[in-house]
Amino acid sequence: MPHDDEHLSAQPDPAPRLDAMLADLEELVTCESWSADHTAVARSARVVAAQGRRLLGAVPRTLVVGGVTHVRWTFGTPRVLLLGHHDTVWPIGSLKTHPWAVEQGVARGPGVFDMKAGLVQMFHALASLPSLDGLCVLVTGDEETGSATSRPLIEDIARQCSATLVLEAAAPGGALKTSRKGVSLYDITAHGLAAHSGLEPEKGINAATELAHQLLALQGVADTVTASTGPGTTVTPTVMRAGTSSNTVPARAELSVDVRVPDAAAQEAVDRLIRALEPQIPGARLQIDGGPNRPPLAPDASRKLFALAAEQAARLGLGPLQQTAVGGASDGNYTAGVGCPTLDGLGAVGDGAHADHEHVVTAAMPDRARLLAHLVGALR
């Protein structure tokens, strides 16, 4: 539906029809959009753009950065940013093993919960408003891989706005996400010296053994940071590779490390400790790449927005609105990091992000759209 440039002067229309929302959700879910496949992401962006154009009455700007396709609508001078992503973690072909389906009030399919249902709810919520003046809608294509190409877009818009509403999936029970841990990502590479493991292993420098020493050292990093800054920090080794053949001393070993922190002080402390790691085997060398990826989303960034959302939920008769802190990060970390008040988890109610049981509770979709529409109205 077309919108003029007048400010909001009336309540949003009644809740969207569930059948219309499910038709749009099917269209998005059945257009697969694995982050690693830029062609698929571009195809998905066209579907997102068309759906938004139909519901918002405006043609978006399509932005291709580093081969990744993002979609943006701007109405007047932005004061409120609505933020989401259309890429998913599901490889192309996942529809064959996880087909789109709606059964007994539950919708399933790759990316249905994280976060295509959130996009549908957002579009239908905004379509119910008499005006979209002062809003910016940004749907990115690389959130699942760290938002390398979209981060500057997100931060530039957030700096202009007084609030960001993130349409990521809700926490269990529909709770909004008012605190997220910060994320740091590291790649630790041990360099050694190859040698025949049977004839002359003593002439080699075993990079895999060196990396084992570093694994043990990493166990103490989180404990050290917790002792100095408080609980909540995790340092988790994830992917590890070493060696070229079973009869060769490994000359190179690689380790990826996922770090989650509750606040900026912990993030800085972990960074110092990891960069201070030293090789333990004579002749070995360490290479440490990476660092802080997303700043923490602190509770203060969400406090006033959550109170406003809870007030709107009460007025709509939606029951007490819940909030929670989560370890996972989102693009809301970036908006909060530049000082924009941010409320996350306004998207779908369901469970199973990135998992085989990913699903959305369909009955909650119209009410979540109503809540978002009234929240946007209260912010303008």
Following DSSP, what letter does each residue of 8-53 receive, concatenated? P-SPPPSPPPHHHHHHHHHHHHTS--BTT-HHHHHHHHHHHHHHHH
Phi, psi dihedrals of residue 295, rounded to the nearest 5°: -70, 160
Q: Residues with Cβ < 8 Å from 86, sequence gap 6 or more?
A: 28, 33, 41, 44, 45, 48, 71, 116, 119, 139, 140, 141
> Do 214 and 276 form a contact (C-beta atoms < 8 A)?
no
Distance CA 346, CA 309 (A): 10
Distance CA 193, CA 355 (A): 40
Nearest to residue 177, comparing CAs of 379, 332, 340, 359? Answer: 332
Phi, psi dihedrals of residue 196, rounded to the nearest 5°: -70, 125
Q: Which two tokens stand for residue 180?
A: 């997220």
What's the one-letter identity of residue 216?
L
87 labelled catalytic = yes
265 CB neighbour count, 10 Å cutoff: 14
Distance CA 319, CA 274 (A): 46
> Do 255 and 185 form a contact (C-beta atoms < 8 A)?
no
DSSP code, position 299: G
What's the one-letter identity of residue 247?
N
> Do 236 and 259 form a contact (C-beta atoms < 8 A)?
yes
- E strand spans, the chain: 61-65, 68-75, 80-85, 101-103, 106-108, 135-140, 163-166, 176-180, 182-191, 234-242, 252-261, 285-294, 323-326, 342-343, 350-351, 359-361
143 labelled catalytic = yes
Kindly name the residue from 24, 26, 32, 87 that is annotated as catalytic: 87
Indicate the Cα dihedral angle 41, 87, 119, 296, nearest 10°.
-140
Kindly name the residue from 24, 143, 144, 263 that is annotated as catalytic: 143
Catalytic residues: 87, 143
